[in-house]
Amino acid sequence: MEQNTETSKQQGVTFHPAPKPVTPIVAETWPVDEVLGLFDLPFNELLFRAQEVHRREFPDGDVELATLLSIKTGGCEEDCGYCPQAARYDTGVEAKKILGITEVLDAARSAKESGATRFCMGAAWRSPKDRDMEKVEEMVRGVKALGLETCATLGMLKEEQAARLKDAGLDYYNHNLDTAPEFYDNVISTRDYQDRLDTLGYVRNAGLKVCCGGIVGMGESRRQRAGLIAQLANLNPYPESVPVNHLVQVEGTPLFGTEELDPLEFVRTIAVARITMPRARVRLSAGRRQMGEPVQAMCFLAGANSIFYGDKLLTTENPEASDDRVLLEKLGLRTRAKVESGGCK
């Protein structure tokens, strides 16, 4: 998307002109049929192609460790069918107030000491209010001062909110597309696809990096999985970080009881993401705990080079950090922090 550098000042905050909607570029780099063709390749051929791209773009072969903290849990007014934090679903998740700055910074310090290089803060909001923004900005400044990359996922943003986050020192903003446009209405009704694209436009225009991915295993077809990847790959530019989530089914949500996705299909999704978005950090996100080591190992072979690190992702379970360290050691994979410091592991 073309950047407009003109800005204006109001009450000490930098505002940027309204962006054009984020849409696939005119001449699609990756038409859906071509992405589907990658999915349909023989498994070994697909992984071979993905590994070629991965080795070319990330010759160090390092894995980025990112930690995700829920700074405001539960009580969300949205109806995302996968989410246990929606107030309308009885999932046992209690609505809580936003965390204090001390608790957030303590968690960030702990994450850094454990090897994380990026600290992500998530809040169960449809969109943040002004009083929320002030608290989040303070958190961003504090985490940034610790020497960590900062990321936030707060729901839909307005133009001026994206600018405020940039001014506070935020590096990345996460706002997932979730699924393909043609499957979207099966999952969510309280916001539409263009709402998500508009937020990504505000984020780009503010000069923030984009973290954007989706969820697979929600009952979508392979073609619809290809449609999600095509949407992401055709954003101009494509996201710097692409989290790929495997649906974690939570009792009480509408998607509980959905037929499980074949693990090898998840590996295929990782490989296709790597080929179509070669320089992105492709992150194994939700659902790693149920995959087991062999499937995760294949995902790394397919081009995944980032994981969420820590025993919880917002409200769902994640592998223990100690288990992740053991797995990475078994596979001989170095973390980003070790590579940047010159370490061998």
Bridge-based pairing of strands 13-15 and 8-10 is antiparallel
299 is an active site residue = no
Phi then psi for 339, rounded to 5 degrees? -65, -45
Q: Which of 268, 283, 334, 336 is catalytic?
A: 283
pLDDT of the residue at 183: 95
83 is an active site residue = yes
Q: Which of 211, 288, 299, 336 is catalytic?
A: 211
pLDDT of the residue at 84: 81
Do the annotations mark residue 283 as ligand-binding? yes
Q: What distance lies between CA 341 and its chain's CA centroid?
A: 25
Residue 249 lies in domain: 36-332
Q: Which of 80, 118, 204, 281 is catalytic?
A: 80
The number of distinct structural domains making up the chain is: 1
In a domain, 155, yes or no: yes
Q: Which residues of the chain carry a pLDDT beneath 50?
A: 1-26, 344-345
In a domain, 342, yes or no: no
151 is an active site residue = yes
pLDDT of the residue at 74: 73
Q: Is 187:81 a contact under the CB 8 Å cutoff?
A: yes
Cα distance between residue 121 and residue 153, in whole Å: 6
Token code pair at residue 203: 């984020």
Q: Is 318:288 a contact under the CB 8 Å cutoff?
A: yes
In a domain, 136, yes or no: yes
pLDDT of the residue at 316: 53
**Is the peptide bond prior to 17 cis by the omega test (within 30 degrees of 0)?**
no
State the SS3 of 141-206: HHHHHCCCEEEEECCCCCHHHHHHHHHHCCCEEECCCECCCCCHHHCCCCCCHHHHHHHHHHHHHC
Q: What is the CA radius of gyration of the chain?
A: 19
In a domain, 13, yes or no: no
Q: DSSP labels for 92-119?
A: SPPP-PPPPHHHHHHHHHHHHHTT-SEE
In a domain, 11, yes or no: no
In a domain, 273, yes or no: yes
Provide the whole-model pTM. Answer: 0.87
pLDDT of the residue at 286: 86
In a domain, 248, yes or no: yes
The secondary structure element, H or E, covering residue 323 is: helix 321-331
Q: Which of 49, 76, 225, 268 is catalytic?
A: 76
In a domain, 340, yes or no: no
Which DSSP state fits 221? -
Cα distance between residue 332 and residue 320, in whole Å: 18
Closest CA to 159 of 201, 213, 97: 201
**Amino acid sitting at position 113:** E
- CATH code, domain carrying 241: 3.20.20.70
pLDDT of the residue at 150: 96
pLDDT of the residue at 222: 97
pLDDT of the residue at 341: 58
172 forms bridges with which residues in the sheet?
151, 209
Do the annotations mark residue 76 as ligand-binding? yes
